[in-house]
Structure 1
């Protein structure tokens, strides 16, 4: 069983920027919409026939995304921005009069989440998505149609859902629910109500919490040991 984590927030509040400290060699980033990364990223390159060692793929096709999540050997998979998997399909099918399209769009989103929680052991899948407010004013993941909200609740399919915020000019992740959001996490996963928007640190915490080997931490420990040996 893989560990799926949802990261939600308004545009410009630090979702994609949180990738900045991850080692791209351990990551497969699926960009639903191709766009430049919002940080200096010379080592983040697109996978092409000539560059199979890259870290970024571009697709809004839910079936392709599911196939990548299930088959990739990378320990970390990131889907950014997930809501456009739904929105792009809706726009392509906007001329259809039948409401069947909403059912199919909802099913595709549900299938992606199922793949994220059912990939092989030790894989972490991070789904980054925009937010919206429901009729009661609660902040939630942005969806298309009513089926996902009334029948499923995507946040209910994951154990951890973090939300971005900007507080006094600092970009952070909210780790505790304030009663007006869908934020949640295991009680002792994070000590603070707000943490730096650093997905690498989140991944380290998740690996430690669930006892998952983390190649980035192992590499850092090895380098520190080598430094100590030569000191």
Structure 2
């Protein structure tokens, strides 16, 4: 069984450029995207996105290292050509070809290493995975689960790296102790030599020889720490300066309102009724009119 490796990354982050240190005769290239290499050099290659043509090529080449560049285009190009077809059969056939190519790569001889270079997809929740077409490969099969080594490209200060360990938000992984640091130079030839050494494959370099190579590619760049620094810098920039704080009115402490106290109403005074005494008036008969 051959060793298969998945390399993920956005366009322009160093996936194809990672082949630059291979010499002609060391590598066979499946150029699915049918594009020129980003450096001077030639390899035994096939420019095709046809599954049958690619299958014949990878089974017949003498090279022990095979690279499928922009592997996701094996699905995307077929989908675009069949976009006017109705129904779901086209999705099943397209995704089946991609799955079968991975299975074919695994079935190659034990001394082979097959690299799949693919674009990456970022979900709404920020998680990253290989870019696919349709839902079958995502829901039924986790593509990254078919690989033991999954690396991701990373660019910092104009330099290009591979990330070798999972961040919690991606599918990056590598065997324990395989790579010397979280980030390494994006040198796919070194990765192939390291895998061959780690698994005691035919033609592997010795541990002493690999120590020198490890030191050469080891990078003291931690993407997680850099992200934290950016977050802290953003938080500091968001805080108001001392001058701005001085201009802002001081907060007045809230005063706890006491419940209103009902005033005691004065009792109504009792009024004494003034009683007029009836006086009897004596009237003479002469004063009474008739």
Q: Name the TM-score, length of structure 2 as normaliser.
A: 0.69
**In structure 2, what is the Cα distance between the partners aligned to 1:126 and 1:66?**
15
Would you say how many aligned residue pairs link Structure 1 and Structure 2?
A: 207
- Report how far residue 57 of structure 1 moved: 1.3
Q: Give the drift of 1:135.
A: 4.1
SS at match of 1:173: strand
User: Could you tell me which residue of structure 1 aligns to residue 249 of structure 2?
Assistant: none
Offset from partner CA, 1:121-153 (integer Å, 9 cap, x none)? 110000000010134321111000000100111
8 Å Cα contact 1:13/1:171 also seen in 2: yes
1:160 to 149, 155, 159: 149
Matched residue, 2:138: 149
Q: CA deviation at 1:69?
A: 2.1
Out of 113, 121, 129, the position equivalent to 1:140 is 129
Structure with more relative contact order (C-alpha pairs < 8 Å, separation 6 or more): 1
1:172 to 2:161 alignment: yes
| Alignment partner, residue 11 of structure 2 | 11
CA distance in 1, matches of 2:200, 2:24: 22
Match of 1:27 in 2: 27
Higher-Rg structure is 2
Q: SS where residue 125 of structure 1 aligns?
A: strand
Structure 1 residue 197 corresponds to structure 2 residue 186: yes
Could you tell me how far apart the structure 1 residues matched to 2:141 and 2:22 are? Answer: 31
CA distance in structure 1 between the partners assigned to 2:199 and 2:164 by the alignment: 17
Q: 1:115 deviation in Å?
A: 1.0
Q: CA deviation at 1:80?
A: 0.6
Across the aligned residues of Structure 1 and Structure 2, the Cα RMSD in angstroms comes to: 1.6
Structure 1: runs of 5+ lacking an equivalent: 46-54, 222-231
1:183 corresponding residue in structure 2: 172
